[in-house]
Amino acid sequence: MEIVHRGELYDDLNGDGVYEYQYTIVVYKLEDKFYRGICQTRILGDFNLKLEDISDVVLIPTEAYCPLVPPKFTIAPEDLPESCFIKRPRLSAYTPSKPTEIGDRVLREVAVLETLRTHPHPNIAEYIGCQVRDGRIVGICFVKYRETLEERINPGSHGKVAFRYADSKRPLEDRGGFLSGVESGIRHLHSLGLIHNDIKPANIMLDDDDNPIITDFDNCCPDGQDLEGMGGTWPWADEGTKTALPSNDLDALWDIREWLSDSSIKNFKFKEG
């Protein structure tokens, strides 16, 4: 058994704003097949996870996460360069009640990337094409960037409110220029009628010259579209937002500006906690 993903689920069962641990989602590979299950025990330290520790196990069918490639999608070369990042489907999201959800998300993201490929921008991740096997998309290929904004300035993963930019060991050389680049990329998306819907430090990367690069387009969709099954990441978005609107991205950018400011008082749009 090879564990390929594990993630803890917390929930506010009492409606009092206190999120408590429920269980750990586990995705594992066994004999070239992927399975999803849950573990009631928290996986901490040297905990040796065994098959008998995992319950509610379901097989994840290949067709659920590797959709057939449409004719007009760009196929990545088989001999990919080392400077390439391959994004794989997020198998932890699989549920038998929505068997096509992961594959649909892959197709939606690639459709957006095909649009961006014909309308490139220096602050948006460069898409190379789909990695395809047996006629199915198994990965989405991008130019590889160095690190995320989160990794660069907040490697300790301090909370949004607790983080202090002044304490960062690796600050940005041109903070204002960096933020202007992020805004330029967002405005470019909006000019194409697209809303990113998940702008956050973990979705902004830095290239070798510290230029900002917006990544992760699986929540990106046309302006005005219903966001059922999509949306931003708390605390960088309002999880109650139901519609793709430019304000989704611009409010998130506002919060990133506040997060990177030297002010001791942060005027966030989206409060943490």
Asked whether residue 265 is domain-assigned, the answer is no
Residue 242 CB contacts under 8 Å (≥ 6 apart), including other chains: 226, 227, 228
Asked whether residue 264 is domain-assigned, the answer is no
Which CATH number belongs to the domain containing residue 176 in this structure?
1.10.510.10
Beta bridge partners of 127: 142
| 108 and 7 within one domain | no
pLDDT at 47: 63
Identify whether the C-beta of residue 230 lies closer than 8 Å to the C-beta of residue 160: no
Q: Centre a 10 Å sphere on the Cβ of residue 59 and count the other Cβ atoms it contains.
A: 13
Asked whether residue 84 is domain-assigned, the answer is yes
Asked whether residue 272 is domain-assigned, the answer is no
| 134 and 151 within one domain | no
| 151 and 227 within one domain | yes
| 241 and 157 within one domain | yes
Asked whether residue 29 is domain-assigned, the answer is yes
Antiparallel, parallel or unpaired: β 204-206 and 212-214: antiparallel
60, 89, 106: which is the final residue of a domain?
Answer: 60
| 83 and 44 within one domain | no
Domain count, the chain: 3
Asked whether residue 46 is domain-assigned, the answer is yes
| 55 and 69 within one domain | no
pLDDT at 203: 97
Asked whether residue 270 is domain-assigned, the answer is no
Count Cα atoms within 13 angstroms, Cβ side, for 93. 16
pLDDT at 6: 83
**Which pTM value belongs to this model?**
0.89
pLDDT at 41: 80
60, 81, 110: which is the final residue of a domain?
Answer: 60
Asked whether residue 271 is domain-assigned, the answer is no
| 92 and 23 within one domain | no
| 50 and 125 within one domain | no
Residue keyed to tokens 């760009």: 74
Per-residue pLDDT of the chain (273 residues; tens, 9 = 90+): 888 888 888 877 777 767 788 889 999 999 989 999 998 888 776 567 888 889 999 999 999 999 999 999 999 999 988 889 999 999 998 999 999 999 999 999 999 999 999 999 999 999 999 999 999 999 999 999 999 999 999 998 888 988 999 999 999 999 999 999 999 999 999 999 999 999 999 999 999 999 999 999 999 999 999 998 888 888 999 888 999 999 999 999 999 999 999 988 889 998 765
Whether residue 235 is preceded by a cis peptide bond, meaning omega within 30 degrees of 0, is yes
Residue type, 108: R
- 108-112: which pairs have CB atoms within 8 A and are 24 or more residues apart? 108/218, 108/220, 108/221, 109/140, 109/217, 109/218, 109/220, 110/73, 110/137, 110/140, 112/194, 112/217, 112/220, 112/221
pLDDT at 196: 98
Buried b (16+ CB within 10 A) or exposed e, 166-204: eebeeebeeeeebbebbbebbebbbeeebbbbbbbbbbb
Domain range for 9 is 1-60
